[in-house]
Amino acid sequence: MWTRLLVERASWTLIDQGVVSLGGFILNVQLARYLTGSDYGTFALFMGAVFIFRAVDFSLISYPLSVQLCATPRREHAALLGSTAAIAIALAGVLSVLMFAGTVLLGRGDIAYATTACFLSWQAQETTRRFLSADFRHRAAVWGDATSFLGQAAIIGVLASAGSLTLQSALYAISAMFLAGAAVHVSKLQFARPDFAAIVPMFRKFFELGKWSLLTYEVVLLRTQLFPWALAVFAGTAATASWQAALNIANLMNPIILGIGTVIPQAAAQARLSGGITGAWRAARGYVLFGLPPILVFSAFVLLAPHFALRLAYSADSPYLDMSLCVQILALAWAAEYVGEMIAKTLLGAELGGLAFLTNATGVVGAVVALPLIIPFGVLGACLALAIAILIRLIFAWLILSWLLAKETSPTAIRAEAQVPR
């Protein structure tokens, strides 16, 4: 029965994330083809800023909700979602002001309204999507995600065919599809009226639970976003566009990395209640093994045929066809990223956020140390530096997990557990 439940949950989370990543991949390929290198590089930097802000919402809203929901009686779910939604709306207001101000300060005031609209609509879609996934309702989330992400790919294609595609029009079109997807998600959720008297204590509880997740994901994003921004500074936004073009190929593994990662925290949280960290890892390991074969198959394909993958994505006359070595390096790095990320998700689900933060902080240290490779090698150096950072994070994560498992299964720990009154 447990195996059937695992396969069902893992399958639907992969289908859902597959829809999201397919739409995102087609969108990025279209923008890479039809926007100028400078505009596409700007779009890549905007996406990085969105992910940084999304980590705030995920850590302080979605992650605490996923842990709390599994311990809350179903009759109280609507009340919990209503109050959580009120907190999410307030947080989105603050982050949108920062997004607008940041866009203006970076000298792109011409797209400040477009980037803010895109961020707010994405926030609405992603937050409501997380409300569904927190209750393992990935099957229900597929329709809203298909509306958002496949709809974006379709509408960008229409704009490109009509010769009306600009960075600004693309952002507004993406915003419209995110709002449509959010509406679909909301139709599948039940919200009770927020208990405003309980919202402040509730946010304090969410913050206590999510603070380590926030630090963890901000350092993960710092590790990955460090390179496109450094390339923009040292080599221009065209180099950032080349980086993003190579990364798009590796990101085809994201349906598995993000999909399996979505279900592990709540699965580990449930298993930890009765089985400790050993039970949490046992539950998480089943999901990890479920997603590992396609990760390895795709990595092998990219290693053997990188030029074919680039040509298939960007056409035979694309300026990005010389990125074969970069794509191979990132394919290997993303396979290591999968395992390291799943260990970090397990630690978060087991409420060991401090250790998850330390694990990811090692990756940032590795990234900073390897960052100078950009100066002599450009985009290739950025890919090598990211791969080094990911490998360092994986090694440290595995050492932390091994220590925790050995500590819990030591004879001393077992004797202490046996002496606890039942």
pLDDT digits (tens, 9 = 90+) for 294-346: 999 999 999 999 999 889 888 788 888 888 999 999 999 999 999 999 998 89
Q: What is the pLDDT at residue 412?
A: 56
Task: List pLDDT tens digits, range 172-193.
Answer: 999 999 999 999 999 998 888 8
Least confident window among 2-6, 284-288, 315-319, 399-403: 2-6
Report d(CA 244, CA 30) in Å as an integer: 13
Task: List pLDDT tens digits, range 126-168.
Answer: 889 888 887 778 788 889 999 999 999 899 999 988 888 888 8
Mean pLDDT of 265-283: 85
- Please state, as a whole number, how many other Cβ atoms lie within 10 Å of the Cβ of residue 105: 10
The three state secondary structure string of 305-374 is CHHHHHHHHHCCCCCCCCCHHHHHHHHHHHHHHHHHHHHHHHHHHCCCHHHHHHHHHHHHHHHHHHHHHH
- pLDDT > 60? residue 418: no
Q: List for the chain the helix, strand, coil content (%; round to 5).
A: 90, 0, 10
Query: With the C-alpha atoms ordered 285, 291, 293, 298, is the resulting torsion angle positive or negative?
Result: negative
DSSP codes of every residue in 228-271: HHHHHHHH-HHHHHHHHHHHHHHGGGHHHHHHHHHHHHHHHHHH
Rounded to the nearest integer, the mean pLDDT of the chain is 84
**Strand, coil or helix: what is 4?**
helix
174 closest CA partner among 149, 140, 146, 208: 149
Task: List pLDDT tens digits, range 236-251.
Answer: 777 888 888 888 888 8
Report d(CA 43, CA 40) in Å as an integer: 5
398 burial level (CB within 10 Å; 0-12, 13-18, 19+): middle
Per-residue pLDDT band for 417 (boundaries 50, 70, 90) equals very low
202 closest CA partner among 80, 349, 63: 80
Report d(CA 128, CA 65) in Å as an integer: 12
Report d(CA 309, CA 314) in Å as an integer: 9
Task: List pLDDT tens digits, range 60-77.
Answer: 887 788 777 766 777 888
DSSP codes of every residue in 5-72: HHHHHHHHHHHHHHHHHHHHHHHHHHHHHHS-HHHHHHHHHHHHHHHHHHHHHIIIIIHHHHHHHTTS
Distance of CA 57 to the CA centre of its chain: 12
Distances in Å between the Cα of 26 and the Cα atoms of 113, 181, 302, 318, 400 are: 24, 17, 18, 15, 38
Mean pLDDT of 196-207: 84
Report d(CA 102, CA 125) in Å as an integer: 22
Per-residue pLDDT band for 411 (boundaries 50, 70, 90) equals low
What is the pTM (predicted TM-score) of this model?
0.66
Half-sphere exposure of 142 (CA within 13 A, CB side): 13
Are the beta carbons of 219 and 110 closer than 8 angstroms? Answer: no
Least confident window among 81-85, 88-92, 145-149, 225-229: 225-229
Report d(CA 130, CA 85) in Å as an integer: 11
275 closest CA partner among 212, 345, 208, 350: 350
Report d(CA 111, CA 208) in Å as an integer: 36
Report d(CA 159, CA 139) in Å as an integer: 31
Q: Based on C-alpha coordinates, what's the Rg of the chain? A: 21
Percent of the chain exceeding pLDDT 70 equals: 95
Task: List pLDDT tens digits, range 344-395.
Answer: 889 988 878 888 888 888 988 888 899 899 888 888 999 999 999 999 999 9
Q: Whose structure tokens read 């995110």?
A: 178
Q: What is the pLDDT at residue 420?
A: 42
> Which residues lie closer than 8 Å to 122 by C-beta, 6 or more apart?
50, 54, 174, 175, 178
Ramachandran bin of 193, using left for φ above 0, alpha for ψ from -120 to 50, beta for the remaining angles: beta
- Say how many residues make up the chain: 422
